Amino acid sequence: MNPNHALDRLKAGNHRYAHGEVSHHHQSISRMRVISAGQHPFAIILGCADSRVPPEIIFDQGLGDLFVIRVAGNILDDAILGSIEYAVEEFGTGLVLVLGHERCGAVAATLKHAEIPGHVSTLLKAIQPAVDRARDQPGDLLDNAVRANIQLVVAQLKCSMPVAKLVEAERLKIVGAQYNLDCGTVVMVA
């Protein structure tokens, strides 16, 4: 599917969801049988692990539609980048959408300089550049940091070599979006 059509399909699905008109399309046993032999997801979503932001639900999509990677703070690391490169190569998926959201706990913890034992520090370290960028911006610091984090992850993705080549050839589009927890809408921010 053409990257722009894929993005239109996500936007239309989110519009249905936010207006209480979900289709539950592709969520049946017959769909499961159709795709059991192979998948052709039309979009790759790198989203936050937050329980309130499940991509299949907020974009009103079903089985086999989205290749979803979720991690707190929707950050990028080598394993996540590998998953994205794999999906792009293997399925020819033309769209990657980085999905952040309002009041993200991982971004908020980074803002507070929280000292959390264990591996959480890996997440906070990845988000820190977004917090640094947001500090001088007018407006709400957490909201700005969430947006900066989405934009930085999109920029990082565009720099990754196999991905960059496909973007250059216009076979792949990489965009960033922010989910509004209060009204269910997704707004493009990158």
| 145 near Zn ion, rule: CB under 5 A | no
| 98 near Zn ion, rule: CB under 5 A | no
Residues 6+ apart with CB under 8 A from 14: 58, 59, 60, 184, 185, 186
**What are the angstrom distances between the C-alpha of 121 and each of 127, 146, 152, 184?**
10, 17, 18, 29
Q: What are phi and psi of 25, to 5 degrees?
A: -60, 145
Per-residue binding letters, 57-96, with Zn ion (x by CB under 5 A): ----------------------------------------
Site for Zn ion in 147-186 (CB under 5 A): none
| 102 near Zn ion, rule: CB under 5 A | no
Q: How far is the CB of 107 from Zn ion (least distance, A)?
A: 7
Residues 6+ apart with CB under 8 A from 61: 10, 13, 25, 26, 55
Taking contact as CB under 5 A, which single stretch among the options 25-33, 45-53, 61-69, 137-145 is the one that binds Zn ion? 45-53
How many other CB atoms are there within 10 angstroms of residue 132's CB atom?
A: 12
CB 44 within 8 A of CB 120: no
| 124 near Zn ion, rule: CB under 5 A | no
| 48 near Zn ion, rule: CB under 5 A | yes
Q: How far is the CB of 141 from Zn ion (least distance, A)?
A: 16
140 torsion bin: left (phi>0), alpha (psi -120 to 50), beta (else): beta
Taking contact as CB under 5 A, which single stretch among the options 6-14, 46-54, 119-127, 181-189 is the one that binds Zn ion? 46-54
Taking contact as CB under 5 A, which single stretch among the options 42-50, 113-121, 150-158, 159-167 is the one that binds Zn ion? 42-50
Question: Which residue pairs from 128-132 have beta carbons closer than 8 angstroms and sit at least 24 positions apart in sequence?
Answer: 131/107
Q: How far is the CB of 79 from Zn ion (least distance, A)?
A: 18
| 50 near Zn ion, rule: CB under 5 A | yes
Residues that bind Zn ion (CB under 5 A): 48, 50, 104
